[in-house]
Amino acid sequence: MKRILLCLLAALLPVMVAAQAPAPKPAADPRVELAAKIPGAKPEDIRPTPVPGIFELVHGAGVSYVSADGKYLFAGDLYRVADNGEFPNLTEERRKDLRVKLLAAVPESEMILFSPKVPKYTISVFTDVDCPWCKRLHGQMAEYNKLGIRVRYLAWPRTSPKTPSWIKSQSVWCTKDRGEAFDKAVGGGAVAAASCADPVQRHHDLGRKLGVQGTPGIVLPDGELVPGYLPPDELLQHLQGAKG
């Protein structure tokens, strides 16, 4: 009997010791320490890359990279050497994901919509009412819609606040029938002055975050940014070849 008790005690002893031992501390999140070394960075802006010792740093829809010790920050695209000889651009894929996420946070009630009855694709267009190529795009709206392309306009005047193009954009977005006002503005007609809590500055700031540098700035459903005008047929081909 004594021998049995000793055996049981020997078996239970490691369990008892383990129960009394303090729980191990969770591993420190390296992003917290790294973010503290980079002005304006937050831990959620940082994530590991497939390259050991290199972290990704997100700013808007921009992507740069930082060493694990926080001493080196560098820009440029990161490519993966694939077995089939291709070189997928991991940085651009990340930018596309970020653009989709940032655009999803903008309510469509802030946009001007031109849609077919049954849309196949939805594009987001940063537009300037005085931009010649924006006027050309809008002049072919019936053709885009006929091809199943739904257009969502966001305001992106190329000039600064308080300039005529900026003020005209504000008036368009503050008019009750924005679509009609937009038609008139891009057609060269006068738009009645109107004011409200317009989204022009927000849209402009968002466009810069997404990488828009000129108009029209077209963002496809998968987040690809097309810098400039594309005719309806070419845009459709581009959409058919894009992912997402």
Q: Which domains does the chain have, with CATH numbers?
A: 30-89 (3.10.450.70), 104-241 (3.40.30.10)
Residues catalogued as catalytic: 128, 131, 134, 158
Task: State the pLDDT confidence band at 30, using cuts at 50, 70 and 90.
Answer: confident
What's the pLDDT tens digit per position in 204-229?
999 999 999 999 999 999 999 999 99
Report if pTM > 0.75: yes
Half-sphere CA count of 199, side-chain side, radius 13 A:
17
Residue 82 pLDDT class (50, 70, 90 cuts): confident
Mean pLDDT, rounded, for 91-103: 96
Across the chain, what does the average pLDDT equal?
Answer: 90
104-124 residue pLDDT tens: 999 999 999 999 999 999 999
Q: Which residue has the higher pLDDT, 125 or 85?
A: 125
